[in-house]
Amino acid sequence: DIRASRRVFFAAWPDAALRERLASLASRLQHHCGGRTPVIDNLHLTLGFLGNVPTAEIASLQTLTERLTLPTGEWTLDRYGYFHKPRLAWLGGPPTATLTLWHARLGEALQASDRSLPAWHDFRPHVTLLRHAEKAPPATLAAPEWTWPLTRLTLVESILDGTRPIYRVLAECPATA
């Protein structure tokens, strides 16, 4: 594999039960909003998007990820939202203390290695349920209230080679109680 750069991001992945619930919610939301549902195994929460990173620098990002110290905690998803420009419909919720801490620790570690997260000031945690959505989720549609146990942070490579991205885990950091 001789690619000069990799498209990478940091994320948390839902457990199997939550993944199933999110996937069926995405299918129901599609009736209201149109658009395309993600592949079930691709559902995730992005904690930071780095974009293209030179391949030679991936090893140091893997080490950085594995060396993070993260507490376990929870995040609550309780509202729908819509990003107009990219036409994404999502389920999310305000960052909890744990999520804010994860984001901050990640930002600090990246800064210490002369990197930074874009849109640092505007962390809006969400799980994308529909891409190319024609409409925002209707305001009358009640969102569920689901708890996401935060147990590990993942460094992921996104391979855009076809119609759906393929995500490949590059490194993981288990949260410690």
Site residues (CB under 6 A) for ligand 2AM? 9, 46, 49, 88, 118-119, 128, 158
CB of 50 to ligand 2AM, least distance (A): 9
Shortest CB 78 distance to ligand 2AM, Å: 18
Nearer to ligand 2AM, 56 or 119 (CB): 119
Minimum distance, C-beta of residue 154 to ligand 2AM, in the bound complex (Å): 12
Closer of 5 and 69 to ligand 2AM (Cβ): 5
User: Whole-number minimum distance, CB 121 to ligand 2AM, in Å?
Assistant: 13
Q: Would you say 23 and 37 are in contact if contact means Cβ atoms under 8 Å apart?
A: yes
Residue pair 6/52 in contact (Cβ under 8 Å)? The answer is yes
Q: Which is nearer to ligand 2AM, 69 or 134 (CB)?
A: 134
Task: State the DSSP code for 95.
Answer: P
Instruction: Answer yes or no: are the C-beta atoms of 69 and 115 closer than 8 Å.
Output: no
Interatomic CA distance for residues 101 and 78, integer angstroms? 20
Considering the complex, what minimum distance in angstroms separates the CB of residue 101 from ligand 2AM?
20
In the bound state with ligand 2AM, the residue whose beta carbon lies nearer, of 119 and 142, is 119
88/91 with CB nearer ligand 2AM: 88
Beta bridge partners of 46: 11
- Residue 132: which region, alpha, beta or left (left: phi > 0; alpha: psi -120 to 50)? left
Determine whether 136 is exposed, middle or buried from the number of CB atoms within 10 Å of its CB (0-12, 13-18, 19+): middle
| Bridge partners, 89 (sequence order) | 82, 130
Helical ranges in 13-136 per DSSP H? 16-33, 58-66, 97-112
